[in-house]
Amino acid sequence: MATGSLGHGLSVGIGQALAGKILKEPFRVMILMSDGECNEGSVWEAAMFAPAKQLDNVIAIIDFNKWQATGRSEEVLKLSPLADKWTAFGWDAYEVDGHNYEQILDVFSKIPACKGKPTAIIAHTIKGKGVSFMEGDNNWHYRIPNQEELQKAKQELGVID
Ligand SMILES: Cc1ncc(C[n+]2csc(CCOP(=O)(O)OP(=O)(O)O)c2C)c(N)n1
């Protein structure tokens, strides 16, 4: 489920995880969120619910790229210390370099490291990483690359020669 309306994904994912526990199904639910999304009150309602129900089948990854639509996340509504907030809500929280697959897989391999607790992974990322003219430029939240820019981006990412 893709949730363009921010703050719904965590609640829906946690609902699925609760269903999994009730039905005694062994699946896990992965939820990918953004830092701007953590400004939504519904996120923290859901964040409180999952540990209360001991949903250790939930993994929430937060793409912490420090930007959101209208500016820097810390300036729009300060989030730091983000990992501490998840821990305080009862989650087992980890911080990783979001561009380093080994670090992410290392956390995945431990889950559930804390029985009865959901897992939050704060993935520190750089917006537009790997594309020289997009990196750290928040205008690309809304802009669509033209054909020339698309070709250049693909080349820089090694998708085409
Ligand atoms: C409920 C809700 N409120 C407001 C918006 C308007 N909005 C669109 S994008 C955005 C900020 C997104 O931040 P983030 O997802 O961190 O941006 P990223 O840098 O990851 O693209 C906002 C507030 C929305 N989509 N949904």
Angle at 150 between CA 148 and CA 152, to 5 degrees: 70
Is 19's pLDDT higher than 90? yes
Structure tokens belonging to residue 130: 């790997």
d(CA 161, CA 157): 10
Alpha carbon separation from 35 to 31, 40, 124 (Å, rounded): 13, 10, 10
Q: How far is the CA of 48 from the centre of ligand 1 (A)?
A: 22
pLDDT in tens, 129-156: 999 999 999 999 899 999 999 999 999 9
Looking at every residue in the chain, the average pLDDT score rounds to: 95
pLDDT at residue 161 in the model: 83
Q: Is the minimum distance from the CB of 16 to ligand 1 under 6 angstroms?
A: no
Q: How far is the CA of 68 from the centre of ligand 1 (A)?
A: 6
Q: How far is the CA of 80 from the centre of ligand 1 (A)?
A: 18
Q: How far is the CA of 27 from the centre of ligand 1 (A)?
A: 29
Decide: pTM greater than 0.75.
yes
Which ligand 1 atom sits closest to the C-alpha of 63?
A: 20
| Mean of pLDDT values over 41-53 | 98
Closest CA to 89 of 41, 50, 125: 50
DSSP helix/strand/coil, 46: helix
| Mean of pLDDT values over 66-81 | 94
Q: How far is the CA of 2 from the centre of ligand 1 (A)?
A: 13
Structure tokens belonging to residue 154: 């693909």
d(CA 129, CA 156): 10
- pLDDT band for 114, please (50, 70, 90 cuts): confident
Q: What percentage of the chain exceeds 90 in pLDDT?
A: 91
Structure tokens belonging to residue 145: 């690359």
What are the residue ranges of CATH 3.40.50.970 in the chain?
A: 9-125
Identity at 149, one-letter amino acid code = E
Pocket residue to mutate for ligand 1, from 77, 141, 143, 144, most atoms within 8 A of Cβ: 141
Q: Is the minimum distance from the CB of 9 to ligand 1 under 6 angstroms?
A: no
Structure tokens belonging to residue 16: 């699925």
| Mean of pLDDT values over 96-110 | 95
- pLDDT band for 117, please (50, 70, 90 cuts): very high
3-state secondary structure 83-101: HHHHHHCCCEEEEEECCCH
Q: Could you say which architecture CATH assigns to the domain 9-125? A: 3-Layer(aba) Sandwich (3.40)
Q: Is the minimum distance from the CB of 85 to ligand 1 under 6 angstroms?
A: no
